[in-house]
Structure 1
Amino acid sequence: MAKSWVNSAERIGSDLHLELSGPGSTRAALIDALREAVRSGRLTPGTRLPPYRSLAADLGVARNTVADAYAELVAEGWLTARQGSGTQVAERAEPLRPQRKHVRVPVKTPPRARGPRHDLRQGTPDASTFPRAAWLASYRRALQEAPNEVFGPGDPAGRVELREALTEYLARARGVRTEPGRIVICSGFAHALRLLSRTPVLRGTLAVEAYGLPFHRELLADAGVRTVPLPLDEHGADVSRLARERAVLLTPAHQFPTGGPLHAERRAAVVDWARARGGVVLEDDYDGEFRYDRRPVGAVQGLDPERVIFVGSVSKSLSPALRLGWMVLPERHVADVLAAKGEREAWVSVLDQLSLADFLSSGSYDRHVRRMRQRYRSRRDRLVAALAEHAPHIEVTGVAAGLHAVLRLPPGTERSVLKAATWAGIALDGLAEFQHPQAPRTPGTPGTPGTPKAPEPSEAAVPAYDGLVVGYATPSEHAYGAALDALCRVLPPEAG
């Protein structure tokens, strides 16, 4: 019967697993096991083997047995032995290559798919601008100052240092009213949705804006949450259409993707609705820090912390790779969310949490956001100027805030422009893909000449027009000019 042996790491500094099996002496079995380990590539050239005494003790064999096995393999060229260097796998020893009886036909590796030459998709910041030096400084401080208990199981709500830093920052920058005990750390908005869908908060029917991320709707559908669309106009989502729903998902600071804040009267109205219905408003503050041509819009949560769940992350301000987000919850929902999160699963790295806490409290986050706000405003201005010069007939909207703009296209041209963009190596998003599938479309845009009469409340219609959602944050600085030139070349000409 084969025996498995593992030598002691504290004696030789590494582990070596050997199977001693087969008839014959222990010495022969050991030689075969070592030879097979080299043949298979498990012991690579240059690997240092345990000393005789250590391996003999672990295998329960005589020291001379190991010495004889090593000596024979040295003579055969499998191993080398030098004074002061111990016994090592010989550099010329090669792993065993299985012999095949049939002719081997070379298999060509399929070429790696080429990415777009110009990435103008929405949703990601310029990766080249990540503040590496400042983040590294925060990470080092966090690691050096972290108490020992940081490396234990931890708190499912997240590190208190980060929750305290967020309490101060969100109150100052976003007008959020909260305390550390009502913040739960998550990995982003999608993670927050998954957690909330496991609680009574998002069970049943959820009202959403007629335009939004399909991924979020799919995530909710998979969790058994039915979504119904609210129409949009120049004042944002028409919350007067809320009916029997008990929850509504909004992007009130900057409607995604059409742009524009939720009007003040509607912000107050949706809070009044939540109070009257015993419902909740889910506020997605996906790019709340980036405002250019108007005063910052505070969080709806500030109007009633017991009726609004505020969700934010660093995906747009720093990087989606960090997977750091937060939920600011009404007190009555904290326990349910923590129960859904679990004791050990779906946690964000504790060291990343501590690093973000330091990044916030040291002022590095504010400095980075201000710097990026200037950079992205310049990007926005360059986009608007390029369109004014090369395609003045294309209307650009939603540019007072955020990291993307909407380009309104002539009717019936969205698909052809997207196809032309693909051929030109441009990655773009069409406006139609963000529309809720149950939202009927009406021609025209509210507030513009020729707009038909507003639909009846039961219709929940949204204005229909072709468009592009252009992300101006994604390309690196040196690539942005070429991306704008390529975009202008694929836009449809002015109708004659």
Structure 2
Amino acid sequence: MLGNDLHLDLTAAGSRRAALIGALREAVRDGRLAPGTRLPPYRSLAADLGIARNTVADAYTELVAEGWLTARQGSGTRVAEGVAEAWLTARRDRPGTGTADARTLRADAPAAVTYDLVQGKPDPGAFPRGAWLASARQALTRAPHEALGVGDPRGRIELRRALSAYLARVRGVRTGPERIVVCSGTAHALRLLARVVRTGTWAVEAYGLPFHRGLLAEAGVGTPPVPVDDEGARVGEIPAGAGAVLLTPAHQFPTGGPLHPERRAGVLEWARRSGGIVVEDDYDGEFRYDRRPVGAVQGLDPERTVFLGSVSKSLSPALRIGWMCLPTALVDGVVAAKGEREPYASAVEQLTLADFLDSGAYDRHVRRMRQRHRQRRDRLVTALSERVPSVRVTGIAAGLHAVLELPAGTETAALAAAARHGVAVEGLASYRHPDAPGPTHPDGLVVGYATPPERLYGAALDALCSALAEAVGPRG
């Protein structure tokens, strides 16, 4: 009597057999039953629907004869390959049908994306499945029984210990497990901090993620901009009255480049003088190519800095694991804001990441991805220099994206041309704070080079170069 669940509406007028045949046809037509889907056995479906077994058998037999289904000994009854596509083609070609079902819209949508060059998204195919699985097995084998019960809101102690050691070694962070709180990523961390760092104003970089500004605004926090240039945020111009400042010191997002050493010292002096907090988003801190490692600002003054990190770029955003290295005075408040029950980061994945860090698998993965990203960046720079030399490439010493500076007044045209060529990419203007003072950065595109699978990357570069040549001309 066991089989796959299948929802069918048999309320149509007529016999139960006719209603079942009609319902199965409609399920194939609208894509709910995809080609190759195995249908439940006669007795199982008959019991679920409250109809006779012979009624189901007769309906299956008729649909097999019509070509909607196939039936083979040992393989059961399945939806025939190609039947839904053939029906949709015939319907689209029939004059006056005006079909617009979900499958047709997906196939014919004018905004279809062939090449994803949006920043901030690693290639899902690069996830180290084998090494992660090995760490998951090891972690579950060693985990105490209590690890699978109600969790500590600070996160698993195994992960906090591993992070403390790793961040000290790689990023120069000075912290201990007792001052680390695990969260689901940077956005989650900012939401918690906005409830704990009780100030009405956080200064933010004049170029940054609108999403981060938006979630702070939702928490009732004002976000006046700090001007940005080639040396990072101009911290001497932090607006008066700000109680915190959100920075990306390792690689200013999205314009690129680390925060200048004098400005690193300057923002900490601001924090000591004003009593404010520096919130350091370690964006792309692990992916550097043409420069020596830049340590975290947090290491210079751990009691005035909150250090934020995650695995969303280095491993996968699907893991939903991030962390905060907090000043001692903020730990209890953040833990209280987070709540006693941990609703975000899975304890099993925390344990797995702890083993991944301790075993050295994370280091090996980052080194491998660093080499891959550098090669992709170099291919992007070479392709642009050969085909669209009027476009200047900046912000490429680190990270997973580049900024393409365009001739004045061409950003909108470049975005439109990219869309026509099936390329998803973003304009630099979309990251500019609406209240940012001038002068602003020139027109540009923010191009992520991590996402496309290897087999599509060459074609993605070709489409991007074609779009830019069309929008700005090969020589500008």
Give the TM bin, normalised by the shorter chain. 0.7 to 0.9
- Residue 446 (structure 2) pairs with residue 469 (structure 1): yes
Residue 168 of structure 1 is matched in structure 2 by 165
User: What is the aligned partner in structure 2 of residue 425 from structure 1?
Assistant: 422
CA distance in 2, matches of 1:48, 1:258: 59
Write the deviation string for residues 317-356 of structure 1: whole angstroms up to 9, x where unpaired. 0011111100000011011111111111533100000000
Matched, 1:482 2:462: no
Cα distance change, pair 136–245 in 1 and its aligned pair in 2 (3 A): same
For 1:430-449, list aligned pairs within 5 A: 430-442=427-439
State whether residues 210 and 229 of structure 1, in contact with CA within 8 Å, keep that contact through their aligned partners in structure 2.
Answer: yes
Letter in 2 for 1:357: A
SS of residue in 2 equivalent to 1:184? strand
Q: Shift in Å at residue 300 of structure 1?
A: 0.3
Deviations 1:252-305 (A, max 9, x none): 000000000000010011111111111100000121100100001000000000
- In the TM superposition, what whole-angstrom CA distance separates every residue of 1:160-201 from its partner, at most 9, and x where no partner exists? 0000000000000000000001000001000101111121x1
- 1:393 to partner: Cα distance: 1.6
Matched, 1:184 2:181: yes
Aligned match of 2:101: 109
Tell whether the 8 Å contact from 1:130 to 1:318 is kept in structure 2 after alignment.
yes
- 1:423 Cα offset (Å): 1.0
Match of 1:334 among 331, 334, 338: 331
Match of 2:274 in 1: 277
Per-residue deviation, 1:495:
5.8
User: Which is helix-richer, 1 or 2?
Assistant: 2
1:38-437 to structure 2, matched below 5 A, reads: 45-47=42-44, 78=52, 92=57, 109-110=101-102, 111-113=104-106, 115-199=112-196, 201=197, 203-242=199-238, 243-437=240-434
1:464, distance to aligned residue in structure 2 (A): 3.5
Give TM-score scaled by structure 2 length: 0.78
Letter in 2 for 1:353: Q
DSSP-derived class of the 2:224 partner: strand
The one-letter code matched in structure 2 to 1:234 is D
Cα deviation for residue 92 of structure 1 reads 3.7
In 1, the alpha carbon distance for the partners of 2:189 and 2:441 equals: 31
Shift of the 153–45 alpha-carbon distance from structure 1 to 2, 3 Å rule, reads farther
- 2:202 is paired with a residue whose SS is strand
Report the secondary structure of 1:327's partner residue.
Answer: strand
For the residues of structure 1 that align with 2:43 and 2:151, how far apart are their CA atoms? 41
Deviations 1:375-414 (A, max 9, x none): 0000010011111111112110000000000000000000
Q: Which runs of 4+ in 1 moved over 6 A?
A: none
Q: Which has the larger radius of gyration?
A: 1
Number of residue pairs the alignment of both structures matches: 395
Checking the alignment, whether the CA contact within 8 Å between 1:202 and 1:225 is kept in structure 2 is: no
Provide the C-alpha distance between the structure 1 equivalents of 2:116 and 2:99, rounded to a whole number of angstroms: 32
TM-score by length of 1: 0.75
Give the alignment's Cα RMSD to 1 decimal. Answer: 2.6
Structure 1 counterpart SS, 2:250:
coil
Structure 1 residues 234, 79: closer, same or farther in 2, change over 3 A? closer
Instruction: Give me the whole-angstrom Cα distance separating, in 2, the residues matched to 1:355 and 1:217.
Output: 32
Provide the residue aligned with 1:7 in structure 2: none
Deviation string 1:67-114 (CA, Å, 9 cap, x unpaired) is xxx9xxxxx98479xxxxxxxxx964989xxxxxxxxx9985233435
**Distance of aligned partners of 1:44 and 1:470 in 2 relative to their CA distance in 1, 3 Å threshold:** same
Partners of 1:230 and 1:239 within 8 A in 2: yes
- Look up the equivalent residue of 1:134 and give its one-letter code: A
- Residue 307 of structure 2 aligns to a residue whose secondary structure is strand
**CA shift in 2, pair 1:214/1:160, >3 Å:** same
The 1:46/1:335 distance shift into structure 2, 3 A limit, reads farther
CA distance in 2: counterparts of 1:164 and 1:485, whole angstroms: 46
Tell me, yes or no, if the aligned pair for 2:389 and 2:475 is still in contact at 8 Å. no
Corresponding residue number in structure 1 for 2:18: none
**Equivalent residues of 1:205, 1:226 under 8 A apart:** yes
Change (3 A) 1:108 1:256: closer
Aligned partner of residue 439 in structure 1, secondary structure: coil
Q: Residues 405, 108 of structure 1: CA spacing in aligned structure 2 closer, same or farther, 3 A cutoff?
A: closer
Is there any run of 5+ residues in structure 1 with no aligned partner, and where? Answer: 1-11, 14-39, 50-69, 71-75, 81-89, 96-104, 443-462
Confirm or deny: 8 A CA contact 1:203 1:224 kept in the other structure. Answer: no
Aligned partner letter, 2:247 = L
- Whole-Å Cα distance in 2 between the matches of residues 106 and 250 of structure 1? 52
CA contact (8 A) 1:202 1:247 kept: no
Contact 1:207 1:230 in 2 (8 A): yes
Structure 1 residue 145: Cα displacement: 1.6
Once residues 159 and 475 of structure 2 are traced to their aligned partners in structure 1, the CA distance between those partners, rounded to angstroms, is 55
Counterpart CA distance in 2 for 1:215 and 1:483 is 27
Give the aligned partner of residue 5 of structure 1: none
> Which residue type is aligned with residue 457 of structure 2?
Y
